[in-house]
Structures are given as C-alpha cells and as structure tokens.
Amino acid sequence: MNYCKYFQAQINPHECWFFVAAIRSYEHLAFDRTFDKATSTFEFLVPENHTKPFIDLMNYFAKKGIVTNFKHDTNRFSEV
C-alpha cells in the first residue's frame, strides 16, 4: 500500500530558497529534498490526501517560472 505520491521537479536555482521556504510553510503538505543538485531537481513525497493542494501549488509556481519539468512518478520508496 502506498501512503505517499512521488513527484519530481526542477526548481529555478535562483528561487530555491524561496521555493523551499514556501513548501515548508504548509504543514505536512510534502516532504521535499534535493534529488540532483547539478540540475536543481527536487523530489517530493506527498500524502495522498494532500495531492490536489500540492499539485495546485506546483502549477502556480510553474506559471511563475519557478518550477519546470514537474512530474508524477513511481514512488521509488514504496518497495523499501
């Protein structure tokens, strides 16, 4: 059983500090961490019941040019 959805996105390197602060200001919205520092790619584990608000927020950041290549992927932690 999966409890979290897995997402990845690239974050504008000049906006990472703002992006991380914004994501973390929403309690329990998502767990974020850097996946690849060279490409400024982050990964997110999002509780199933927070998927819609998370996607809405990421789409907002995409419109502002802060987020690119936002995608849902297979939860690479589900088999651990």
Check pLDDT > 80 for residue 76: no
Q: What is the per-residue pLDDT for 45?
A: 94
Q: Decide: helix, strand or coil at residue 56.
A: helix
Q: Is the CB of residue 19 less than 8 Å from the CB of residue 61? A: yes
Q: What is the CATH number of domain 4-73?
A: 3.30.70
Query: pLDDT by residue (tens digit) across 22-59?
Result: 999 998 999 999 999 999 999 999 999 999 999 999 99
Question: pLDDT class for 79, splitting at 50, 70, 90?
Answer: low
Prediction pTM value: 0.88
